[in-house]
């Protein structure tokens, strides 16, 4: 794909495009104070959401066009480059009209080809950088499709933002990273700059630093970090926002050393194991709750807690299932015996507890 560089100023020591600012523009003071504190720390590109796509109605849906004049003040007073999210043709018109320099398409918009095409049509003939967040679902083709729609109307300064993917499985992340998807995007469009949004992947402050480090180690071209003058008071995404000072500390600590491919794979395999361990524990906890209920039943019906015939039967069935799943009989037997002991303990505890 013939693309041109984003041509945005880079963070001085690490050659990264660093975009920072609040999830949402809330008030003129909040926007200006956050921007000033970021500008003092060398940040050159300021983000703020003016129109906010919320999963459910009733949350803060963005201040709307009123906030554009606050962004203009940021530019006048700090010289920062302005970035905001657009989801419709009208947003594009108003943002460009107000002098916003860089636009991004949010994850809830990238999923919809009609919306992306509407935005692309509104951008025909313009020359400004446009960043495309990954769609909420892990669909690389949808992500590439949105990029192609922009390319077809003549936009050449295009970048991608990796912000993670929703998933039904509960994980430590708000949005599962699936690092293999942006890696494949890089293989398919090698000259496309890719930025990481650790704020929306992690959903929690503590995860911003490790995720940023991972992205930099993998050769990402930049970071987009949600930054607020007083994060706990933020009207949207409070748990994942940090102060400009915290952001500076994180960026200064980033090591630019690249991770080898092997260890990237290792990292992904470890993440999968973490998830499976969480699921195993959740299942064990459900099993133990049922044991407690069985304990109550046995107590009411005067049955003894340990019933050797039942245990022998379970053991036999599970060992043969385990063998068919490539697990050794000794291993299955040991695990089951531990589970059985805990189960008996639970049933006994509930019996004693109810006397
Ligand atoms: C945002 O950047 O504030 C935002 C709404 O992000 P996403 O589209 O990644 O959810
Ligand atoms: Mn946000």
- pLDDT tens by residue, 199-252: 999 999 999 999 999 999 999 999 999 999 999 999 999 999 999 999 999 999
CA 165 – ligand 1 centroid, Å: 12
Decide if pLDDT at 264 tops 70: no
Atom of ligand 1 nearest to the CA of 109: 8
Which element (helix H / strand E) includes 103?
strand 102-105
Residue among 229, 251, 248, 250 at smallest CA distance from 24:
229
Q: Whose CA is nearest to atom 2 of ligand 1?
A: 23
Per-residue model confidence (pLDDT) at position 259: 73
Decide if pLDDT at 260 tops 60: no
Atom of ligand 1 nearest to the CA of 49: 3
Atom of ligand 1 nearest to the CA of 106: 8
Q: Are 64 and 50 in contact (CB under 8 A)?
A: yes
Q: Whose CA is nearest to atom 1 of ligand 1?
A: 23
CA 290 – ligand 2 centroid, Å: 40
Query: Which ligand has an atom closest to residue 52 CA?
Result: 1
Decide if pLDDT at 355 tops 60: no
Beta-strand (E) ranges in 149-191?
Answer: 158-162
**274 Cβ contact list (under 8 Å, min separation 6):** 171, 172
Q: Whose CA is nearest to atom 3 of ligand 1?
A: 23
- Mean pLDDT (the chain) is 93
Per-residue model confidence (pLDDT) at position 263: 62
Atom of ligand 1 nearest to the CA of 236: 3
Is the minimum distance from the CB of 234 to ligand 1 under 6 angstroms? no
Q: What is the pLDDT of residues 75-127, one digit of tens each?
A: 999 999 999 999 999 999 999 999 999 999 999 999 999 999 999 999 999 99
């Amino acid at each position: 794909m013939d693309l041109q560089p984003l041509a945005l100023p880079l963070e001085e020591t690490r050659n990264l495009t660093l975009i920072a600012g609040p999830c949402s523009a809330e008030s003129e003071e909040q926007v200006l104070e956050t921007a000033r504190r970021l500008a003092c720390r060398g940040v050159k590109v300021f983000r703020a959401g003016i129109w906010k796509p919320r999963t459910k109605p009733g949350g803060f849906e963005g201040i709307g066009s009123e906030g554009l004049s606050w962004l203009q003040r940021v530019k006048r007073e700090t010289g920062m480059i302005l970035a905001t999210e657009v989801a419709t043709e009208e947003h594009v018109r108003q943002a460009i009209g107000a002098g916003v320099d860089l636009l991004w398409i949010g994850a809830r918009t990238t999923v919809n080809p009609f919306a992306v095409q509407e935005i692309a049509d509104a951008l025909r003939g313009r020359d400004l950088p446009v960043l495309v967040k990954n769609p909420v679902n892990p669909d690389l083709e949808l992500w590439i499709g949105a990029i192609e729609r922009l390319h077809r109307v003549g936009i050449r300064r295009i970048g991608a933002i990796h912000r993670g993917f929703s998933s039904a499985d509960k994980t430590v992340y708000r949005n599962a990273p699936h690092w293999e998807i942006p890696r494949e995007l890089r293989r398919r469009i090698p000259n496309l700059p890719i930025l990481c949004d650790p704020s929306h992947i992690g959903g929690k402050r503590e995860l911003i630093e490790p995720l940023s480090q991972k992205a930099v180690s993998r050769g990402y071209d930049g970071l987009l970090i949600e930054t607020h003058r007083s994060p706990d008071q933020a009207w949207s995404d409070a748990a994942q926002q940090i102060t400009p000072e915290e952001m500076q500390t994180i960026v200064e600590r980033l090591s630019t050393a690249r991770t080898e491919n092997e260890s990237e794979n290792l990292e992904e395999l470890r993440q999968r194991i973490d998830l499976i361990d969480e699921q195993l524990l959740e299942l064990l906890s459900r099993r133990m709750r049922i044991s407690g209920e069985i304990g109550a039943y046995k107590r009411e019906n005067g049955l003894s807690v340990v019933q050797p015939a039942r245990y022998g039967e379970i053991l036999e069935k599970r060992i043969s299932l385990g063998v068919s799943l490539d697990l050794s009989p000794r291993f299955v037997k040991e695990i089951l015996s531990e589970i059985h002991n805990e189960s008996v303990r639970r049933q006994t505890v509930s019996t004693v507890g109810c006397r």
